[in-house]
Amino acid sequence: MEDFNPVSLAVPFFILAIVLEIILARLGWAKANYEPKDTFASLAMGLGSSVAGLATAGAIVATSLWVYEHRLFDIPMTAVWAWVLIFLLEDKTYYWFHRLSHERRFWWASHVNHHTSQHYNLSTALRQTWTGGVAGTWLLWLPLSLIGFPPAMVAIQKGISLVYQFWIHTEAIGRMPRWFEAVFNTPSHHRVHHARNPRYLDRNYAGILIIWDRMFGTFQSELDAEPCRYGVVRNLATFNPLRVAFHEWGAIGRDLLKSRSPREVALYLFGPPGWSPDGSRETSSQIRARWAKGQGAVSPAAEAETVLTPDGRSSSPA
């Protein structure tokens, strides 16, 4: 069971699903747009991510095993309750990893490439980071091994989460049944996450369960009145995978070279993306605030509570 890798097993399914999405879109039976250079960039990022992951895999496995040796409890890998528990704990960990990866620049530099496509299709799901191991976000999963979950169990659950998140990168699926949308992350919820519209910025960080966003105040439903515009606030003018992978690290380096105090160094590294000492750039929350002001300042709570009608359209509860 320790050799079970959900992601490796799912790769043929990923390829077939992309082929199917392209064919259905070509026949006009599903909504999907594929731009060849964009598709190349996404798939090259996915392939490169697998290779780059090998560089840090050893250190990550060794650290996880060392932490597990100092575990607090013995949790059996064969118990159903243990799988239910790790499903919930891993998914919550993913939420906070993902939120950190958007709200702090050091980790955004690693994650941003996943958001650089102006398209939203199944190939976008494979546009993965090359620098995640170096950025160290894997440390966030170590407490699970410290509690007593075997590292193999943690790795399997992380893999299941990644495989789950593949199918939600599509415009071909409108909305799932209402009960499903209420509990699980769906194509509709994740389209919002990939959108650059001010209303949608830094929302819906969920992995499998959308309940975390609802609990922690980062949920935003997709509104038919406001179609998602995909990409990042400052879209990339290149499809070069090297530039896609490293552009934000380069930008951090340039900012650090011109920083004038330890505070500036700290905020350029760990402040929100878009922070600048003179305010000449905007963070996501500043963009949202400016947008909200222009909209007549609809409260974030009222905005997030916008609900879906049974036919999939949106309406405000008030």
Q: Which residues pair with 209 in a beta bridge?
A: 184
43-74 b/e (C-beta count within 10 Å ≥ 16 → b): bbbbebbeebeeebeeebeeebeebbeeeeee
Give backbone dihedrals phi and psi of 307, rounded to 5 degrees, phi first.
-110, 160
Residue 152: closest CA among 312, 5, 314, 23: 5
Smallest distance, another protein to C-beta of residue 194, A: 13
243 binds another protein (CB under 8 A): yes
Of residues 259 through 318, those in contact with another protein by CB under 8 A are: 290-291, 294
Which member of 246, 272, 289, 298 binds another protein (CB under 8 A)?
A: 246
Does 18 sit near another protein (CB under 8 A)?
A: yes
Indicate the pairing of strand 314-315 with strand 307-308.
antiparallel
Q: Is 28 left (phi over 0), alpha (psi -120 to 50) or beta?
A: left
Confirm or reject binding of residue 239 to another protein (CB under 8 A): yes
Please check whether residue 204 is in contact with residue 57, taking contact to mean a CB–CB distance below 8 angstroms.
no
Q: How far is CA 135 from the centre of its chain?
A: 15
Binding mask 189-228 for another protein (x = CB under 8 A): ----------------------------------------
Provide, rounded to whole angstroms, the least separation between the CB of residue 135 and another protein: 17
**Per CB under 8 A, does 106 bind another protein?**
no
CB nearer another protein, residue 116 or residue 188 = 116
- Our finding on whether 39 is near another protein (CB under 8 A) is yes
Position 56 contacts another protein (CB under 8 A): no
> Using CA atoms, how far apart are residues 119 and 112, in angstroms rounded to an integer?
14
Instruction: Work out which of 4, 13, 40, 270 binds another protein, going by CB under 8 A.
Output: 40
Say how many residues make up the chain: 318
Separation CA 133–CA 55 (nearest Å): 8
Q: Which is nearer to another protein, 118 or 165 (CB)?
A: 118
CB of 35 to another protein, least distance (A): 4
Draw the binding track, 121-150, toward another protein (x: CB under 8 A; -: no contact). Answer: --x---------------------------
Question: In one letter, which amino acid is 274?
Answer: G
Least Cβ distance, residue 236 to another protein (angstroms): 5
Burial of 282-301, coded b for 16+ CB within 10 Å and e otherwise, reads: bbbeebbeeebeeeeeeebe
Which residues fall within 8 angstroms of residue 143, CB to CB, at 6 or more apart?
A: 93
Nearest distance in Å: CB 19, another protein: 6
Per rule CB under 8 A, is residue 170 in the interface with another protein? no
Whole-number minimum distance, CB 187 to another protein, in Å?
18
Q: Give yes or no for residue 23 binding another protein (CB under 8 A).
A: yes
Residue 51 is a binding residue for another protein (CB under 8 A): yes
Q: Is residue 250 at the binding interface for another protein, with CB under 8 A as the rule?
A: yes
Q: How many CB atoms lie within 10 A of CB 80?
A: 7
Which amino acid is present at 46?
G
Size of site (CB under 8 A) for another protein:
41
> By the criterion CB under 8 A, which residues form the site for another protein?
15, 18-19, 22-23, 25-26, 32-40, 43-44, 47, 50-51, 118-119, 123, 229, 231, 234-239, 243, 246-248, 250-251, 290-291, 294
